[in-house]
Structure 1
Amino acid sequence: MNLASPSPQTSATRATSTAAPAIEVRQVLKTFAGKQLVKALEEVDLTVAPREFVSILGPSGCGKSTLLRIVAGLTPYQGGQVLVNQRVVKGPSPEIGVVFQSSNMLPWLTVAQNMALGAKLRKLPEAELAPKLAQLTETLGLKGFENHHPHQLSGGMRQRAAIGQILALDPQILLMDEPFGALDALTRDRLNVELLRIWQELRQTVLLVTHSIAEAVFLSDRVVVMSGRPGRVIEEIKITLPRPRHPAEIKADPRYGEYIAQLSSLMGVFADGH
């Protein structure tokens, strides 16, 4: 079967193909100084369309997280250019929300207080914030836990609350660096379903760094594969599995296994789907 063959697309997906890119990475070079110069990224090119869900795969140490931090405006780079919504990235932007592997929730604040923290620091009006938080707790499956503290939550719930903290800021672009990497496999699978449901409802542009091939295939419109250090893009695979995606249906689709096999081969691992 030809994995690049077209499949039915929603009007929202079709619209992304003609719009200006939400993220453009052009020939980016990144080096780290130390006892010797380490070249982390070399001539990286990447575009992400508005409302597109793109995952980045690559071996450990290839610069995936560094690239994400560069797009977020958190890490400087030495060559090339990065644009978000056609503007050169010069530092952090309210258009961009970043979710890291650690939830970074303040232990002395409740779930509701943690989720509202960033929005209050940006002085979002209370009349606007309250209904937004109520909707987010419902969307994230946290209703009834608003007054709990982080230590009273499971790891998955803490991570959902951390995502809610970012979504409360209404970012146009969501950058995610292994957000579920520290969780057990079952919780991770469940949260992938939740993340996909949230994305299908809110439709932000998403750039996800992950080590999980199955996760990338299940979630993404497109998967970008990077080489070992110095990291560069070596392949892009368009995922034509239909949306909305339901786990049982998608995993029963022969194309799902074929994508995993193709990406596993590119990554140099066995195609076991895990």
Structure 2
Amino acid sequence: MNTDNKPAIAVSNVLKTFAGKHEVKALESVDLAIAPHEFVSILGPSGCGKSTLLRIVAGLTPYEGGEVLVNQKRVTGPSPEIGVVFQSSNMLPWLTVGQNLALGAKLRKIPEAQAAPKIAQLTEMLGLKGFENNHPHQLSGGMRQRAAIGQILALDPQILLMDEPFGALDALTRDKLNVELLRIWQEQRQTVLLVTHSIAEAVFLSDRVLVMSGRPGRVVREVAIDLPRPRMPETIKQDPRYGEYISELSKLMGVY
């Protein structure tokens, strides 16, 4: 964990209400702070506003009260400092994997000569070498998600926001991609905020886990994960503390 004094993400007393025939208060008095290069996960019951909070930090959803700062700047809209990975990949089906990886750089008018080495490095790092000319439908679900992460990493964001990126995958593929994500993070060291429903995933990946209440959502508990890095399943999952963290968070989440 980075010990810089100023957080990369600071959320203070945030309120979000969805208007309509039946007004829904999604978030109330949400406070959190995430240090540069820290990996933090958010757990909470369905409908508690986890994804809404992530979209607010990303500048994709407005909010009514409080303040959200990213790198000490108030969030008023999407920022090139922030990359967002959703549960479903945003790859365009008519483009190849290589073209999809290069799309963000192209839209931002980054010269091809500047972007190409980065994209080649990501292709190798994500295990997509040899698939550059394939189209998304020709990839497995896990490979599509790796490519979706690559799309964002190609833009060199300082902060990575992830909304259940592996939620639609089978358990084995999900476990493999958790290891892959940690490897990428250990190389790139972005600040990561991950929304997940998986307690085991949150414990395995994170420096800290934040637990949200039911709607209106707010952060009610923080659990620091004191497990050594780098983390590999065969060692971490045998550590008694791993099971203890899962048990503690399960109780906080009302699993038992």
TM (norm. structure 2) is 0.99
What are the equivalent positions in structure 2 for 1:1-274 lying under 5 Å apart? 13=1, 16-270=2-256
Across the aligned residues of Structure 1 and Structure 2, the Cα RMSD in angstroms comes to 0.6
Aligned AA (1:94): P
Question: CA separation in 1, counterparts of 2:122 and 2:174?
Answer: 20
**Distance in 2 between residues matched to 1:166 and 1:20, nearest whole Å:** 25
Distance in 2 (CA, whole Å) between partners of 1:251 and 1:150 is: 33
2:232 partner letter: H
Cα displacement (A) at 1:128: 1.1
SS in 2 for 1:73: coil
Alignment gaps of 5+ in structure 1? 1-12
Structure 1 distance, partners of 2:150, 2:98, is 9
- In the superposition, the TM-score normalised over structure 1's length comes to 0.93
Which runs of 5 or more residues in structure 2 are unaligned? none
Deviation per CA, 1:198-220: give whole Å up to 9, x if none.
00111000000000000000000
AA aligned to 1:179 is P
Distance in 1, matches of 2:124 and 2:89, equals 19
Count residues with an aligned counterpart. 256
Tell me by how many angstroms 1:17 deviates: 2.0
Checking the alignment, whether the CA contact within 8 Å between 1:19 and 1:50 is kept in structure 2 is no
Q: 3-state DSSP class of the match of 1:252?
A: coil
- Taking only the aligned residue pairs, the percentage that are identical comes to 83
- 1:94, distance to aligned residue in structure 2 (A): 0.2
1:219-246 Cα offsets, whole Å, 9 max, x none, are: 0000000000000101000001000111
Cα displacement string for residues 11-53 of structure 1 (whole angstroms, at most 9, x for unaligned residues) = xx3xx22331000000000000111211000000010100000
